[in-house]
Structure 1
Amino acid sequence: MEQFELLMNGMGVVLSGYHIMIMIAGILLGILVGVLPGLGAPNGVALLLPLTFSMEPISAIILLSCMYWGALFGGSITSVLFNIPGEPSSIATTFDGHPLAKQGKAGEALIAAFSSALLGALAGVVLITFLSSYIARFALSFSSPEFFAVFVLAFGSFIGLTKTAPLKTVCSMMLGFAIAAIGMDTVSGNIRLTFDIPDLLRGIDFEVAVIGLFGIGEILCTVEESLVFRGERTRITFKMFFSTILKLPRYWATWLRSTLIGCWMGITPGGPTAASFLSYSVAKRVSKTPEKFGKGAIEGVIAPEAGDHAAGTSALLPMLTLGIPGSATAAVMLGGLMVWGLQPGPTLFVEQQDFVWGLIASMYLGNVVGLIVVLATIPLFAAILRIPFSIIAPIIIIICSIGAFSVNNSLFDVGLMLVFGVFGYFFKKLNYPIAPLVLAAVLGDRAEDAFRQSMLFSDGDLLIFWSNPLVGTLTTMGIAFAFLPLISKLFSKSLGFGSKKQ
């Protein structure tokens, strides 16, 4: 089988002492990012990105992806022990994870969380292994109209599948498009939205925007909350580990259902957070004992963790094959590929086979190594959480500033980071989603180029986006997703669902 041979070649690239050390370092950093509220996987990856500019692309992506896995694992520690989700996608884990910890079953809850997360992540990697080549080959036939239609589908899906107000998602996305338009127009060479500021001629680097939005913005929000964390203590033994593992097969249906939900939400722009909530709600709905949920049901830990990690891994599939990220973290990684001189999309599988299959191989190894590392370091990271946040917050801000400065060695970028930090703070307080902004900022210029090239081919005729069944289907689906909230609202009103109860 071709995929198996390519995977073995990838294993040959990854299996070296240097790359194993990078995996462990990335996972440890990721766990730290995951357990500290105020950071999170997107910001952790963005902070580390400038440090990878001098590395080989395969080493850099292994480091970033392992930090991603570590952050997803780390968020579970805080959710179970402290009832504080280190990651937004870990919120659902708190519903039953912390009640289990209060019952003295913290170790059992953590082992169940990590084991189901590992299996969910591996399912996502298997999906990438066997589907990525086919999707990439199919996408090789794409021209400008098809690529623009894919962008429309990605943007429309974010609007149609959002759990927040669709109008807020649109506003967030519009701001992202405005950020992407700053600087020199790649088609005409005109200068746009620089306001006579020379430092804006090169545009706004997405790393600076992401560090401010996720890092500084989260810090400002977290500072308003409790500065000292207290939680349950735990110690994991081999006996506890094996006894818990032996209990998990009885929940195979919960894991399988949640993994399928996670894979779907990762490929579409639903993301890990939506996957974890949806997995939890479905598990509760089909359970024979739904009254136990929220009081310490082990299924309430397995479901969100399996869905979360399956979605987090699957989100890399559209990013690698089509250049469309399925999550905020995947969007940051997409920008990293561009910085390293790699063009995400179908040609990546032809021109950079060692890179692509080395990354896929590292996903298998990274998640297994991540499980081992996180089980061994739970007490250490639980102790770090008891440090007052008034001490940790300034350290994080300094790291953010260094990361922003290192992008272009410019103090102007540090100022921009602070401006975006204020934006991120108000976005959080007003419940505006940041992921659509990041998506639009990263893909906005590529979507614009594809649109303008299509208009040049067709002499300005918009019907080019319905010129064949493929592009017509993608465009129609994108528009349908964008208007789905409005259609649903009108449909509900027409059936009388929106009327007041008598």
Structure 2
Amino acid sequence: METILVSLGSGLLQAFEPLNLFMIFAGCLAGLFVGCMPGLGSVNGVAILLPVTFLVPPTAAIIFLAALYYGAMYGGAISSITLGIPGASTAVATVFDGRPMAQAGKADQALMAAAIASFIGGTVSIILFTLFAPPLAAFALKFGPQEEFALMLLAFATFVGLGGDDIPKTIFSILLGLVLAAVGFDIISGQPRMIFFDMVEFQRGIGFLVLAIGVYGVGEMLWTLESTAGKVQMHSVKITVSRMKQNLLQVKEYINSTWVGSVLGFFVGTLPAAGATPASLMSYGLSKTFSKDPDSFGKGNVSGVAAPEAANNAASTGSMLPMITLGIPGSPTTAILLGGMIIWGLRPGPLLFTESPDFVWGLIGSMYVANFATVILNIALIPVFIRVLAMPFTLLTPIIFTLCVLGVFATTDRMFDTWIMLIIGVAAYLLRKLNYPVAPAVLAIVLGPLAERSMRQSLISSQGDPMTFLERPISLVCILIAVALVSYPMVAKFLKRNKAVEAAE
């Protein structure tokens, strides 16, 4: 323990060197911008700015990119709350309650909750990273395809609570998302499947961002225009010192969801190929399932903002753990970081702590500093973000539509995906008119490919024996928890109905 504290102290001193400190603030600020722009996200931001880092020493370079990663995790909440468009897949769950809060004149409260929850999630995950890096990395290696599938099943189980009381419609929405996720080529045989109308463009599949922006950009915009006849009164928020203090004191309302999201996010983030998106979705689902007022989720519950934001920031740190200790990237962004480290002459793996301790502890120290820097920048810029909501909706609508189109086209470079996004937006609007929840469909298309790959790998290795999922302890525990989560809403509803009957009698 003493050795860890000494090493951490030297890492913090290294992070406060003028060049490294400048790189931290520059990375955090760039990350906030990258994260709040639909279609960019941390992956594109790190990839675009990677060549710039060759002008500075390796430690300063990785510190800059890690700070950018942090800033992008924070920034994704900005467009989710102010515009209702997720800046990246990691911020989709933040839209569910962040946007209704903004429409009710509580945008500053939502942005403050997102910033504080992100800070707590980041801090918890960095402490866990510092203390338990080697054993957690070794535990993550025990996750084979069976465990990965069980974890995805657990994530799907949390979706049941996202669709309200109508579980059949929720299941239909999940199945619809799984169908869209299956479009493209079969991952085992390589045969094309679900190629609608024999159009070759479908062979590349339907990207998650295309679906998310279509549903929460175009679909939400059409729904708002119809339900308000275009006369949307956006609530202007006057930022005062007393209001900021009030928002800070509100942390006690969502602190429990934040702790759960922080620990869950870090654990899920350490698993190879999992990442921040499943972590944020699972955290949101669990918070709603075990909330005292689950019906308020999706209508502006501040815990619905805090839980996913804490989870995605914790997962971003967790995903760096297997990269540093094992040389295995935990997310697409850390895969780019891994490539950069190799270019800089560093070899990620178990020996990195002994061969390049200054680099490792400098990076860990910079995480603490970057976490503080990002939360300060985020809170300081809240008045700037709020100004977006002061615009008339007649001006905001074309801006949202333009951002949707540009976000999809800039990411995929295909007009076909832009048309698909528009069609999905109209379909999401129609589903909403029919009272079908669209959130489970969006979330299913994220985890569908991951679940399919791990399930088929498991069945191939076990020669088709489904018992392989129950024979491994970690897999069995995840499946049992998933069954309990699916059963919980139904049992709670049954008990509530019985109590109502007894009270009436």
TM range (shorter): 0.5 to 0.7
Structure-2 separation of matches of 1:199 and 1:439: 23
For the residues of structure 1 that align with 2:104 and 2:405, how far apart are their CA atoms?
37
Decide whether aligned partners of structure 1 residues 136 and 428 sit closer, same or farther in structure 2, where only a CA change above 3 A counts.
Answer: farther
1:157 matched residue in structure 2: 158
Who is 1:26 aligned against?
Answer: 31
Give the secondary-structure state (helix, strand or coil) at the position aligned to 1:455.
helix
1:205 aligns with 2:207: yes
Aligned 8 A contact 2:254 2:306 in 1: yes
So what's the TM-score if we normalise by structure 2? 0.67
Unaligned runs of 5+ in 1: 34-42, 79-85, 283-299, 324-332, 343-347
Is the CA contact 1:92–1:277 (under 8 Å) kept in the aligned structure 2?
Answer: no
Cα distance, 1:23 vs structure 2: 1.6
Q: Does structure 1 retain, via aligned residues, the 8 Å contact 2:160–2:167?
A: yes
- 1:353-372 aligned at under 5 Å gives the runs 364-372=368-376
| Aligned amino acid, residue 454 of structure 1 | S
Counterpart CA distance in 1 for 2:458 and 2:123 is: 37
User: Who is 2:220 aligned against?
Assistant: 218
Task: Note if 1:66 corresponds to 2:84.
Answer: no
Segment drifting more, 183-192 vs 465-474: 465-474
> Which residue in 1 is equivalent to 2:427?
423
AA partner of residue 213 (structure 2): I
**Aligned pair 1:439/2:451, yes or no?**
no
Q: SS of the residue aligned with 1:391?
A: helix
Structure 2 contact 122–262 (Cα < 8 Å) conserved: no
Equivalent residue letter for 2:428:
G
Tell me the percent identity: 28
Q: For residue 452 of structure 2, what is the aligned residue in structure 1?
A: 448
CA separation of 1:459/1:26 partners in 2, compared to 1, >3 Å: closer, same or farther? closer
- 471, 476, 480: which is aligned to 1:476? 480
Aligned length: 441
Kindly provide the amino acid, as one letter, of the partner of residue 233 in structure 1. K
CA shift in 2, pair 1:407/1:260, >3 Å: closer
Q: Name stretches of at least 5 consecutive residues in structure 2 with no aligned partner.
A: 52-61, 84-93, 269-278, 295-299, 324-329, 340-347
Q: Which residue of structure 2 aligns with residue 292 of structure 1?
A: none
- Aligned with 2:236: secondary structure? coil
The match for 2:59 is: none
Which residue in 2 is equivalent to 1:170? 171
Following superposition, the deviation at residue 150 of structure 1 comes to: 1.8
Secondary structure of the residue aligned to 1:459 is coil
Residues 423, 361 of structure 1: alpha-carbon distance in 2 compared, 3 angstrom cutoff: farther
Distance across 2 between alignment mates of 1:95 and 1:405: 28
Q: State how far apart, in whole Å, the 2-side matches of 1:426 and 1:135 are.
A: 45
Contact kept? 2:115, 2:378, Cα under 8 Å: no
Query: Paired residue for 1:145?
Result: 146
Say if 1:171 and 1:361 are closer, same or farther in 2 by CA, change over 3 A. Answer: farther
8 Å Cα contact 2:102/2:110 also seen in 1: no
Q: Which amino acid aligns with 1:370?
A: T
Distance in 2 (CA, whole Å) between partners of 1:417 and 1:161 is 23
Taking the aligned partners of 2:114 and 2:474, their CA distance within structure 1 comes to 40
Distance 1:411-1:51 versus aligned 2 partners, 3 A rule: farther
Bigger shift: residues 428-437 or 384-393: 428-437
**Equivalent residue, structure 1, for 2:394:** 390
1:271 corresponds, among 253, 260, 283, to 283
1:313 is the counterpart of 2:313 = yes
For residue 138 of structure 1, give the secondary structure of its aligned residue in structure 2. Answer: helix
- Aligned partner of 2:50 in structure 1 is 56
Q: What is the letter of the counterpart of residue 457 of structure 2?
A: Q
Q: CA deviation at 1:194?
A: 0.2
Counterpart-to-counterpart distance in 2, 1:441 and 1:52: 24
TM-score normalised by structure 1 residue count: 0.67
Instruction: Indicate the larger mover: 417-426 or 177-186.
Output: 417-426
Q: Deviations over 1:175-210 (max 9, x none)?
A: 221112111101012211103111011212222222
Query: Following superposition of structure 1 onto structure 2, how do residues 28-107 of structure 1 map, counting pairs within 5 Å?
Result: 28=33, 33=36, 44=38, 53-56=47-50, 62-63=67-68, 65-70=70-75, 72=77, 87-90=95-98
